[in-house]
Amino acid sequence: MESQAGPSSSNGATRNPKPAPSSRKRKSTEADSSDKPGKQARARKSVKVEEPAVKSEEAERKPRLTTPDLEFDFDRTQLRDPRPTPGRVRRPRYSRYDMPSGFKERFHVPVPEKPKGRLNASQKNKLSQQATLLDPSDSFHDTSICLRKGRNGSPTYDAAGFQLDWRKVSESSRPRAYNKARIVKGMERSLDRHATERDNMYRLFFVDGQGPTDARPSDVVNYIRDHVSKDLGVPWHQIDSEKLVGWETQGFPKQKAEDWWREPNEVEKARILKMMGGGSQRKDL
């Protein structure tokens, strides 16, 4: 009870003058109207979904960054094979890692409102998720939008312009317990699988089954997939040695490694990197 001013009467009755102003600082309204300051009070401290009501001067001056602002086109005159990319529905988009210097500074990106006080792990995670949804250049923006739409939501496209598969995105986003031994074994199996796949693709694609001797095998495989993808009209991320069997059966000519291969230029490197990003989460056509 806060202390009250004024003396008591002789018969023991207490007078009721106006209480003196309290010197204690009023607590945040997030904890008001709650008799139990446990879970209910903490629940009121969740991250807000809506954007901050008060915009900064910077937000008033700059346009908000949107998905169309990030779209661009590769210079097809610089590509060894300028044919259209099968399965690509939208134009490719810049992400925070490959956009031109100073590009993002021309736009305003909303920042979610941070709750007052110290945040726990769950609140920090919600804050990070909200920031990802508000920033279309974030690497996880597309997958976050896809998950938010749900299994029956409208199509969502990644930064390379391909449609995402909700089931694959949902599966890859599931938390998994850390197991070092399992991770190491998984990496070993993956390396063996990639080596076998590379050898099979070389055998099916090149005249003598031997690839270029002066090139990284992983680069060669990426451009074999691009070549076969455009021959068959099948998306790049679906090309494997089984698809090359069909490619050979359809009578497409095998290539001589020394005539076919050349080191990729900067535009080709950027395009292949964009194609590789998130390929395992795309929808098969």
Q: What does the pLDDT read at residue 30? A: 37
As to burial, measured by CB atoms within 10 angstroms (0-12 exposed, 13-18 middle, 19+ buried), residue 229 is: buried
CA atoms in the 13 A half-sphere facing the CB of 5: 6
Q: Supply the DSSP string of 121-183, one letter for each residue.
A: HHHHHHHHHHHHHH-TTSTTHHHHHHHHH-TTSPP-B-TTSPBB-HHHHHHHTS-----HHHH
Q: What are phi and psi of 282, to 5 degrees?
A: -90, 155
Least confident of 76-80, 141-145, 183-187: 183-187
Q: What does the pLDDT read at residue 59? A: 59
Q: What are phi and psi of 64, to 5 degrees?
A: -75, 140
Residue predicted with more confidence, 187 or 169: 169
Question: How distant is the alpha carbon of residue 179 from its chain centre?
Answer: 24
Cβ neighbours, 10 Å, residue 136? 23
Least confident of 9-13, 176-180, 279-283: 9-13
pLDDT band at 57 (very low <50, low <70, confident <90, very high): low
pLDDT above 50 for 88: yes
Rounded distance between C-alpha atoms, residue 182 and residue 217, angstroms: 26
Angstrom distances, CA of residue 123 to CA of 75, 117, 219? 43, 11, 42
User: At residue 275, what is the residue type?
Assistant: M
DSSP category for residue 117: S
Least confident of 16-25, 110-119, 174-183, 268-277: 16-25
Q: Do 107 and 176 touch, CB atoms closer than 8 A?
A: no
Say whether pTM exceeds 0.85: no
Rounded distance between C-alpha atoms, residue 53 and residue 59, angstroms: 12
Cβ neighbours, 10 Å, residue 38? 8
Q: What are phi and psi of 28, to 5 degrees?
A: -60, 145
pLDDT digits (tens, 9 = 90+) for 106-126: 999 999 988 888 989 988 989
pLDDT digits (tens, 9 = 90+) for 183-242: 888 888 888 888 999 999 999 999 999 999 999 999 999 999 999 999 999 999 999 999
Q: How far apart are the two ends of the chain, measured CA to CA in Å?
A: 71
